[in-house]
A = this chain, B = another copy of it.
Amino acid sequence: MNGSKSRDTETVGGVRRSDVTRNAILEAARERFAADGYERATIRAIAKDARIDPSMVMRYYGNKEGLFAAAVSFDLRLPDLGTVARADIGRALVTHFLALWEENEEFTAMLRVGATNQAGAERMRDTFREQLLPAARQACPDPEQAPARAGLAASQLLGLALTRYVLRLPPTVALAREEIVAWLGPTLQRYLTAPSP
């Protein structure tokens, strides 16, 4: 509906006076989406956290979906698996994802939303296809098998995130990061590089 995207409301150097508000909204939105999921994260609650009026959210991000799209990034920042020693790929991936999930809760939000919201699931499929799958193509020998192997890897990685950060199964939460790497690393290594069983 409101197509004006760039070029509205700048003063000097593209820095708008309202940027602090915009960022406050985004930050609050990230936390709420991560904690509550898409449906339970209300615009009113987000606005309250950001100490502004709910209508500001609408003004800056159009609607709730727009806010979610703006707040939650889907950049996995995957390392270039070409530079990683072939035998360390599994451990490297687990380490990377652990860091990703623990440094901020955006990706937990992705999970919660993907589990309930149709559009959220679609977006996770895109992320998988555009980021994890190319990485798998670099790691695994037969490119034709890459999708299946990436799917297997995703099942273990997302399962870890689900049980540890969303469901919070006590034994999974209690595991030290090194333990997780030691256990899951070989699994991913096998899914990505071992010959088909």
User: Which residues does A use to contact B, with CB under 8 Å?
Assistant: 36-37, 39-40, 111-112, 114-116, 121, 124-125, 128-129, 133, 147-148, 150-152, 154-160, 162-164, 166-172, 174-175, 179, 182-184, 186-187, 190-191, 197
Copies of this protein in the assembly total 2
> Can you sample 22 A-B contacts with CB below 8 Å?
A39-B116, A40-B116, A112-B115, A112-B116, A115-B116, A115-B167, A121-B166, A125-B167, A125-B169, A128-B169, A148-B171, A148-B179, A151-B163, A152-B172, A154-B169, A155-B162, A156-B159, A159-B163, A182-B197, A183-B197, A187-B187, A187-B190
- Given A39-B39, A183-B197, A197-B182, CB of A151 within 8 Å of CB of B125: no
Determine how close the nearest CB of chain B comes to the CB of A97; give it in whole angstroms. 12
| Chain B residues whose C-beta falls within 8 Å of the C-beta of A147 in the assembled complex | 170-171, 174
Determine how close the nearest CB of chain B comes to the CB of A25; give it in whole angstroms. 22
